[in-house]
């Protein structure tokens, strides 16, 4: 554990009863005293807070930064404006996804680019910016009661619309708040300078928000069929194969990896990300082989037990894709588990 980087709020997590595990070079909370399933259900029914400070922040400011982002990342920033957030991809020249990113367009010529935990250096090599990851914490408050509970701390937290960004002074520091998350639920993510992070976490927990760890974050994102880099996305996986063509600004003159992605669009996508469900409580697992009519057609990239649905779910790439409703066999640990192709996401946001 000593080799892993501790988040700024490490001691607070330990005091809250967190079980710490290595993740992406960091020592992060896996779960707290109630366990992963309890935290998962609390997110779906009420509200939880996740420390996602292991994610990177690359601050990109300057007169020419908009154009640099436009010609580097896949999505089209012209679809949004200052004060909004956008999901996008950074590709290599073979159209593989180097990283999937949320861009916070904070103000005129001011952008916070949010890469995954271990990919900050790759983003810095492609974009002119400053790595400010070590100077701030990011707390994600997620769930149907997230806004109402945060409003008891300050109404401004609850007023940030989905995929919008606001900044304001709170308790003596500037916070940047986005209506984003990675659970399939409503909520916000708060970037707070380290000087104010301990107080912020304490206020959130005191307001009645349950601390939650990476275990619940993964089962939640899987139920919502949200891709995880290194699993459903990666340097040998394209946006089209992951069924994320909507993050590509085809009307833009260019972006990195466009030529190869255009070629795949013309030739046809050879494999497609597909969702699977079992009827049993048997969890599906990453690496399991997918058989259709006795022929191996793919491999699971993620799998687990769905606490909401009460059965196994998984995602994986299938050569040529597969229609919803088709029965498959998942070969796992020396046994075959029957499953069916289903429409993603597995669980939709509570209304």
User: Are 63 and 38 contained in the same domain?
Assistant: no
Alpha carbon distances (Å) from 243 to 97, 176, 248, 278: 12, 30, 11, 22
In a domain, 92, yes or no: yes
User: Are 62 and 96 contained in the same domain?
Assistant: yes
User: Are 201 and 247 contained in the same domain?
Assistant: no
Average pLDDT over residues 52-64: 95
User: Are 37 and 145 contained in the same domain?
Assistant: yes
Evaluate if residue 213 carries a pLDDT over 60. yes
User: Are 65 and 213 contained in the same domain?
Assistant: no
In a domain, 88, yes or no: yes
User: Are 243 and 165 contained in the same domain?
Assistant: no
User: Are 138 and 126 contained in the same domain?
Assistant: no
pLDDT in tens, 300-310: 999 999 999 99
CA-CA distance, 252 to 82, in Å (whole number)?
19
CATH number (domain holding residue 65): 3.30.70.1400
Label residue 351 by pLDDT band (50, 70, 90): low
Report pLDDT for 334. Answer: 83
User: Are 19 and 50 contained in the same domain?
Assistant: yes
In a domain, 121, yes or no: yes
Looking up tokens 């009645």 gives 208
Average pLDDT over residues 135-141: 98
Burial category of 243 from C-beta neighbours within 10 Å (exposed 0-12, middle 13-18, buried 19 and up): middle
User: Are 50 and 64 contained in the same domain?
Assistant: no
pLDDT in tens, 74-83: 999 999 999 9
CA-CA distance, 57 to 134, in Å (whole number)?
9
From 167, 199, 223, the end of a domain falls on 223
Number of domains in the chain: 2
User: Are 51 and 138 contained in the same domain?
Assistant: yes
Lowest mean pLDDT among 100-104, 271-275, 333-337: 333-337
Q: Tell which residue, 229, 228, 331, 235, has the closest CA to residue 276.
A: 331
Q: Tell which residue, 316, 308, 322, 310, has the closest CA to residue 283.
A: 310
Evaluate if residue 3 carries a pLDDT over 60. yes
CATH number (domain holding residue 47): 3.30.1360.120
In a domain, 319, yes or no: no
User: Are 104 and 195 contained in the same domain?
Assistant: no
pLDDT in tens, 280-297: 999 999 999 999 999 999
From 155, 188, 223, the end of a domain falls on 223
CA-CA distance, 238 to 192, in Å (whole number)?
33
Task: Identify whether the C-beta of residue 258 lies closer than 8 Å to the C-beta of residue 90.
Answer: no
pLDDT in tens, 228-286: 999 999 999 999 999 999 999 999 999 999 999 999 999 999 999 999 999 999 999 99
Strand partners, 60: 111
Label residue 1 by pLDDT band (50, 70, 90): very low
Could you check whether the bond before residue 213 is cis, i.e. omega within 30 degrees of 0? no
In a domain, 320, yes or no: no
What percent of the chain clears pLDDT 90, i.e. is strictly above it? 94
Average pLDDT over residues 199-211: 98
Evaluate if residue 2 carries a pLDDT over 70. no
Evaluate if residue 222 carries a pLDDT over 80. yes
Average pLDDT over residues 11-24: 95
Range of the domain at 122: 58-131+238-267
In a domain, 72, yes or no: yes
Label residue 350 by pLDDT band (50, 70, 90): low
The more confident residue out of 117 and 211 is 211
Report pLDDT for 209. Answer: 98
In a domain, 312, yes or no: no
User: Are 139 and 37 contained in the same domain?
Assistant: yes
In a domain, 277, yes or no: no
């Amino acid at each position: 554990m000593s080799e892993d980087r501790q988040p700024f709020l490490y001691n607070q997590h330990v005091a809250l009863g967190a079980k710490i595990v290595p993740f992406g070079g960091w020592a992060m909370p896996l779960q707290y005293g109630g366990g992963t399933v309890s935290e998962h259900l609390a997110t779906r029914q009420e509200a939880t807070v996740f420390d996602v400070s292991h994610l990177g922040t690359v601050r990109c400011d300057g007169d020419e930064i908009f154009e640099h982002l436009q010609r580097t990342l896949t999505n089209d920033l012209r679809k949004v404006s200052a004060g909004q957030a956008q999901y996008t991809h950074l590709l290599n020249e073979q159209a593989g996804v180097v990283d999937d990113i949320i861009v916070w367009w904070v103000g005129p010529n001011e952008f916070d680019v949010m890469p995954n935990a271990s990919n900050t250096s790759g983003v810095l090599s492609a974009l002119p910016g400053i790595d400010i990851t070590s100077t701030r914490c990011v707390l994600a408050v997620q769930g149907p009661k997230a806004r109402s509970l945060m409003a008891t701390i300050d109404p401004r937290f609850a007023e940030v619309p989905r995929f919008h960004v606001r900044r304001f002074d709170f308790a003596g520091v500037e916070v940047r708040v986005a209506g984003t998350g990675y659970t399939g639920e409503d909520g916000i993510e708060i970037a707070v300078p380290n000087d104010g992070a301990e107080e912020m976490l304490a206020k959130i927990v005191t307001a009645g928000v349950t601390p939650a760890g990476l275990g619940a974050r993964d089962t939640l994102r899987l139920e919502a069929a949200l891709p995880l880099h290194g699993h459903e996305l990666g340097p040998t996986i394209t946006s089209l194969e992951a069924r994320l063509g909507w993050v590509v600004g085809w009307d833009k003159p260019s972006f990195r990896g466009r030529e190869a992605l255009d070629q795949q669009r013309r030739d046809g996508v050879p494999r497609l990300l597909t969702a699977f469900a079992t009827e049993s409580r048997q969890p599906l697992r990453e690496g399991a082989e997918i058989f259709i009519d006795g022929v191996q057609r793919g491999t699971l990239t993620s799998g687990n037990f769905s606490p909401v649905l009460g059965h196994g779910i998984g995602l994986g790439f299938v050569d040529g894709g597969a229609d919803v409703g088709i029965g498959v066999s998942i070969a796992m640990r020396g046994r075959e588990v029957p499953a069916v192709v289903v429409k993603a996401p597995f669980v939709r946001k509570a209304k």
